[in-house]
Structure 1
């Protein structure tokens, strides 16, 4: 069984958080919704928040009904169901249509299973040692060179690099040699990072959107053991408060930030 304490915060005032956080007694799910770029409405009339909520609800429903199926198989089915819900009204294959990164933790029959697809983060506390950190860095491998170049670019050069980066990211999405996210292709779930641990090993866990992980990456204010200790001592709301303070200090645009903090793992 999981005991969860969740905290979410939208990146910008007046706009809802486009992440999804949910839990049942045996599982927790976090999705970081994305895709709200200019012109996205022409591809999907529903929007990013709708897709994240729909995919998250489908996944939680499947987790509640089937404790034996693998997490990638359940995620693949959830992607198919969520895609089917708007395939007739929206261009689900358009690169601008909504997508999400995913983190899942399930505890059944004395085993804690996890899945991470994309740059969401999963932390597993381990007694006597640093936390296990699971995140998928394949997206960053594609985007990293463009992000670095944008830091010093200005004017027309900035816009050129930005356009090239967007094109490169779209070309590499859900492709071998690129990176993988939940969108319209259920096969992407098979590329997720997964693992299993006997209950009694991990003593707690956290699922984070990348906006909630900023104190470690990219800000480098604390490391993951310090992050885990702060989360345990102060709770997820304090983590997000400190993220917002550091974003303001560095004049960085805020991002949606969501945390599912699992304070007890029993199976």
Structure 2
């Protein structure tokens, strides 16, 4: 399998790239770190980037050795290992401690297995048309608050009130039944990931995208997934991210870390 990877930091002052992408011969992993909220440094000495990179590294190691194990099992082990690495120094139960979304592609026994936890995206370039997999449960919880904020003036008293309420609700629903699921400190969240498999013979390629890169489709609507796959094939991941950055600038949207792992030669 050949994997072309591109990542671009959001460029916010004082923040490093909180995405991770990596590959071993038969698997690729993308981790989109989340957190960076006010006060996080009071509960976790490591930070979001450390958490994302540590989780990605653990996943790659487990994938290289555990070809026969189900992807949710491997993710659960990785979450547990990362939690063990900093539970003695950090308050992992605090909602301000870092978490992440995850996308995995693995080739095994003639099939391509995928896993998505959170709003990362896995796109399979199937013969009959692309399959885009992303978990929309977080967006469903956030939607009423985001819609209300979009209609208000940022910085106004009402805006700040709704923002605080939205933050409270999101924290209360994280890794809870009826809410949404991410990779944080509870390995049981891995069982809630979206998973599937298809014959490798039916695939021309696949791509894993952080939500900062998938904006080209799901936020800005610049194109659809067939066109994204064609652009990846012709120009590579950097061109997709460049177009996202152009849209962010044009619409005055704050940039996000954007990462793509584009996988070809699956046979």
Matches within 5 A, 1:1-267: 2-13=1-12, 15-127=15-127, 129-154=128-153, 155-266=156-267
Q: How many correspondences in the alignment?
A: 264
Counterpart CA distance in 2 for 1:213 and 1:157 is 30
Corresponding residue SS for 2:22: strand
Uncovered stretches (5+) of structure 2, i.e. residues with no partner: none
Q: What CA deviation, in whole Å up to 9, does each residue of 1:61-105 have, x standing for no partner?
A: 011111001000000000000000000000011100010000000
CA RMSD of superposed structures (Å): 0.9
Counterpart CA distance in 1 for 2:70 and 2:17 is 29
Q: What CA deviation, in whole Å up to 9, does each residue of 1:181-226 have, x standing for no partner?
A: 0000000000000001111111100000000011111111111111
Q: How far did residue 230 of structure 1 move?
A: 1.4
- Structure 1 moving runs of 4+ over 4 Å: none
Q: How far did residue 145 of structure 1 move?
A: 1.1
Corresponding residue SS for 1:33: strand
Counterpart CA distance in 1 for 2:164 and 2:229 is 37
Corresponding residue SS for 2:36: coil
Counterpart CA distance in 1 for 2:236 and 2:72 is 29
